[in-house]
Amino acid sequence: MIGRRVVGGLVLLIALVGPSVAAEGPAGASSCSGCHASSAAVQTPVPRLAGRPTADIVAAMRDFRAGRRPATVMDRIAKGFSEAETAAIADWYAGQKP
């Protein structure tokens, strides 16, 4: 009986937490939204990431990290993410509607 309650509680917790984690994105993705607006209504010279191909975002981050792409702050920001974190963030942004 206790086992069912625990399993039921875990299922409920996953159901409640899962969608909000997906909506917020993977760890680190929220730091992008400070400069990269998600809404097309916001006028900004910084490119939007939503809907961009994963490979393009990953390549840009590698270029920033290596100093091959001009940047004001992205070179330093890119160095703070591992390849796996970058790929997770890029995948998440690629799946967002522009």
Answer positive or negative: Cα dihedral of 53, 91, 66, 78.
positive
* CATH class held by domain 26-94: mainly alpha
The yes-or-no verdict on residue 88 having pLDDT over 50 is yes
The yes-or-no verdict on residue 37 having pLDDT over 70 is yes
- The band of 55, judged by pLDDT with boundaries at 50, 70 and 90, is very high
| Count of CB atoms situated within 10 Å of the CB of 94 | 17
Phi-psi region of 87 (alpha: psi -120 to 50; beta: other; left: phi over 0): alpha
The yes-or-no verdict on residue 46 having pLDDT over 80 is yes
Range 29-32 contact pairs with CB under 8 angstroms and sequence separation of 24 or more: 29/88, 29/89, 29/92, 29/93, 31/77, 32/89, 32/93
- pTM (two decimals): 0.73
